[in-house]
């Protein structure tokens, strides 16, 4: 049984592999940050292997063979969802990377930081701190202090942000807002929640 499925109502036979000699372009996107990590190609067998194993598998045009991303380096791309574009000739893989995606050691094969990616990146740091609890980490001390202590800090930072908005300069407001967002991420994590839950509620309200 496959680990993953194509979008509802679609099967492999619905994809148009004929436009590029049996291949479809495949975009890999970080499922948390939205950053594009790489672009490859898949034939039907590579896409089938991806669905069955949950590991991003591609077709190498130069070597003319399938390859699993990370099979050599250990930096696998663990696929959480597969999307197909409206023309059914391009695949989007939403992935959790085990490490750098680019062979250069960079997170992405594309240069630049990527727009709107740092908050999810910071959230991932908070998640890692929660799991590992490294000594000396401020995040660790917050989490070990419990929800009440973290909630108190969020309240303090909220007040400081409001005061900065009415009585201080823009850099002060930005700095206090950064403190508030960080502590809010820690508070959400302490309750087993995250940015995705907040985003879902905002989308629900937006209608």
* pLDDT single digits (tens) 175-195: 999 999 999 999 999 999 998
Instruction: Give me the pLDDT at residue 187, please.
Output: 97
Q: Please choose, from the candidates 177, 191, 190, the residue with its C-alpha nearest in 3D space to the C-alpha of residue 141.
A: 190
Instruction: Give me the pLDDT at residue 59, please.
Output: 95
Distance in angstroms (rounded) separating the CA atoms of residues 93 and 171 = 39
Instruction: Give me the pLDDT at residue 114, please.
Output: 56
Instruction: Give me the pLDDT at residue 203, please.
Output: 87
Taking the whole predicted model, whether its pTM rises above 0.85 is answered as no
Domains and CATH numbers, the chain: 12-97 (3.10.20.810), 118-206 (1.10.287.1080)
Q: Other C-beta atoms within 10 Å of 129: how many?
A: 19
Per-residue pLDDT tens digits for 114-154: 555 678 878 888 999 999 999 999 999 999 999 999 999 99
Instruction: Give me the pLDDT at residue 112, please.
Output: 65
Q: Mean pLDDT of all residues in the chain?
A: 91
Per-residue pLDDT tens digits for 156-177: 999 999 999 999 999 999 999 9
Question: 90: Cβ–Cβ under 8 A, 6 or more apart, which residues?
Answer: 24, 25, 26, 27, 84
Distance in angstroms (rounded) separating the CA atoms of residues 57 and 28 = 11
Match 């896409």 to its residue by tokens: 47
By the 8 A CB rule, do 53 and 32 touch? no
Paired tokens of 117: 């990616």
Distance in angstroms (rounded) separating the CA atoms of residues 46 and 57 = 5
Residue 60: its H or E element = strand 57-60
Strand extents, DSSP E, 103-206: none
Question: 94: Cβ–Cβ under 8 A, 6 or more apart, which residues?
Answer: 29, 30, 31, 79, 80, 81, 82, 83
């Amino acid at each position: 049984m496959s680990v993953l499925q194509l979008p509802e109502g679609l099967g492999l036979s619905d994809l148009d592999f004929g436009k590029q000699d049996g291949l479809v372009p495949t975009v890999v996107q970080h499922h948390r940050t939205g950053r594009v990590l790489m672009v490859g190609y898949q034939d039907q067998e590579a896409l089938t292997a991806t669905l069955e194993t949950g590991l991003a598998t591609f077709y190498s045009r130069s070597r003319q063979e399938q390859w699993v991303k990370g099979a050599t380096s250990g930096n696998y791309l663990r696929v959480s969802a597969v999307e197909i574009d409206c023309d059914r000739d391009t695949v989007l893989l939403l992935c959790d990377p085990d490490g750098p995606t680019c062979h250069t050691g960079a997170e992405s094969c594309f240069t630049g930081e990527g727009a709107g990616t740092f908050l999810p990146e910071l959230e991932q740091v908070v998640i890692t701190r929660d799991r590992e609890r490294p000594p000396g980490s401020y995040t660790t001390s917050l989490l070990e202090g419990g929800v009440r202590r973290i909630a108190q800090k969020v309240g303090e930072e909220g007040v400081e942000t409001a005061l900065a908005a009415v009585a201080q300069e823009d850099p002060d407001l930005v700095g206090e807002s950064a403190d508030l967002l960080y502590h809010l991420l820690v508070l959400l994590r302490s309750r087993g929640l995250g940015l995705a839950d907040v985003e879902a509620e905002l989308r629900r309200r937006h209608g």
